[in-house]
């Protein structure tokens, strides 16, 4: 039965729909995999076996009645503890929110349920989802299943570790500065950051977000195959009126030229030799598949990164400092102190200028992507960092922040991005990032399938 937990979401859904295996059997296999793998990894921090089995039984009963429970019928998925799921605490990795029980589902959770997915657990995040590492005072640290000495990524580190080990076929994550793409990269799976407006979001427990989070933070999937990401996106993307940015856009856009802008070292940033080698190999793979891949000058990265961080920190100063002080999480305190070095406080005029600059940069990037529909670039300047490097010293933090520019810049313009795992460098995963215009996830997934045509085996 454990083999069922190693199947992809597409394989699982097809077997259940054909009545070759029951949703309950799949759920039991997933729960057995969690029992075997999670104690060493601490990826899932809120277990729900009874709910999972009840949801699986409901799928089987629907099929028995001749109904279609949805495209993800019976597929095991995990949910990050940062979003509301009725009956469970939306902790965001905080002791102060351990009893913040949601009474209604976030739209992305509702959409997954509506598609027939079976939620098997909720996954870990750093305190305040503030890091590319995953540790907090409430749930503890998550380990990387490839190498415990390396970060599992963050802030959706629990999702990355859970998907890599087959605890769930699809992991829900959120991304404001790489929090889907980086844990996918670190744990050796794939992660899709959708466009602004593609996947609806709203936490009733937290209320409306400030403008920066509204513009930059999105929910999306992690998985071990590109078709699974496509399937998950189709389920997550149903519009919801609770999110004013939610748009009913088609999942497949107009035909586009197969042109890829190759960016090996954005604005001359330091990029390690293994990362460069992975990018060059990916470029050759795309060329062999009929893509034109050329090194060209793109719109700014460093400016977009600086403005993204400025806006992010302005909002944290406005509404997060009381919570930071109340929580007193050592990691979050250190990261905030380092971020204040990089992002001096801005006044109202500075905030207005930041938002004005966003319009200019978005125009520049979307105009560029009209000519070059895809950008091939690093996920990070390095392979996965030593775990907890960012809180080891100021130098460690600066090393991490500098390497993450390709992850931080593009959310400022609301653009989608895809992290594709393409190989290994010792115990560390190797991969590349693809960026496209808003609502062109289809182009990302098509190219991603060229780069990763086969599912990644569960660890």
User: Catalytic residues, which ones?
Assistant: 80, 155, 179
Across the beta sheet with 190-193, what order do the strands follow?
Answer: 44-47, 118-123, 76-80, 170-175, 218-223, 190-193, 417-425, 428-436, 374-377, 259-262, 292-295
Cα(183)–Cα(113) distance, integer angstroms: 24
**Orientation of helix 23-41 relative to helix 49-64, angle to 10°:** 160
* Cβ atoms within 10 Å, residue 302: 14
Cα(285)–Cα(451) distance, integer angstroms: 7
């Amino acid at each position: 039965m454990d083999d069922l937990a190693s199947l992809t979401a597409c394989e699982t859904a097809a077997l259940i729909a054909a009545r070759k295996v029951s949703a309950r059997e799949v759920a039991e296999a997933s729960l057995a995999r969690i029992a075997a793998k999670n104690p060493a990894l601490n990826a899932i921090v809120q277990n729900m076996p009874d709910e999972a089995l009840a949801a699986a039984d409901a799928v089987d009963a629907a099929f028995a009645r001749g109904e279609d429970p949805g495209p993800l019928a019976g597929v095991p998925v995990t949910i990050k503890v940062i979003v509301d799921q009725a009956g469970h605490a939306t902790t965001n990795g905080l002791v102060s929110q351990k009893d913040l029980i949601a009474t209604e589902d976030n739209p992305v959770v509702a959409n997954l349920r509506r598609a027939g997915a079976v939620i098997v657990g909720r996954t870990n995040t750093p305190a305040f989802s503030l890091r590319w590492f995953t540790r907090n005072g409430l749930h503890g640290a998550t380990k990387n299943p490839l190498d415990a000495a390396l970060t599992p990524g963050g802030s959706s580190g629990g999702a990355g570790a859970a998907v890599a080990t087959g605890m769930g076929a699809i992991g829900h994550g959120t991304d404001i500065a790489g929090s889907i793409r980086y844990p996918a990269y670190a744990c050796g799976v794939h992660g899709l950051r959708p466009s602004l407006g593609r996947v609806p979001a709203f936490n009733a427990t937290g209320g409306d977000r400030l403008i920066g989070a509204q513009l930059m933070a999105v929910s999306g999937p992690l998985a071990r195959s590109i078709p699974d990401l496509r399937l998950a996106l189709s389920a997550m993307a149903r519009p919801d009126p609770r999110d004013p940015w939610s748009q009913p856009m088609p999942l497949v856009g107009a035909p586009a030229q197969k042109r890829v802008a190759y960016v090996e070292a954005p604005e001359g940033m330091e990029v390690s030799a293994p990362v460069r080698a992975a990018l060059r190999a990916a470029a050759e793979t795309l060329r062999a598949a009929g893509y034109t891949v050329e090194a060209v000058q793109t719109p700014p990265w460093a400016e977009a990164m600086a403005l993204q961080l400025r806006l992010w920190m302005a909002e944290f100063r406005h509404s997060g400092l009381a919570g930071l002080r109340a929580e007193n999480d050592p990691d979050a305190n250190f990261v905030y102190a380092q971020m204040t070095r990089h992002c001096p406080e801005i006044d109202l005029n500075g905030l207005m200028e930041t938002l004005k600059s966003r319009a200019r940069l978005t125009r520049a990037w979307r105009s560029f992507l009209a000519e070059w529909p895809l950008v091939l670039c690093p996920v990070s300047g390095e392979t996965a960092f030593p775990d907890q490097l960012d809180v080891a010293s100021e130098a460690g933090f600066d090393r991490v922040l500098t390497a993450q520019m390709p992850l931080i810049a593009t959310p400022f313009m609301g653009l989608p991005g895809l992290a594709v795992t393409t190989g290994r460098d010792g115990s560390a995963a190797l991969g590349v990032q693809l960026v496209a215009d808003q609502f062109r996830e289809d182009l990302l997934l098509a190219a991603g399938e060229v780069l990763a045509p086969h599912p990644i085996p569960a660890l």
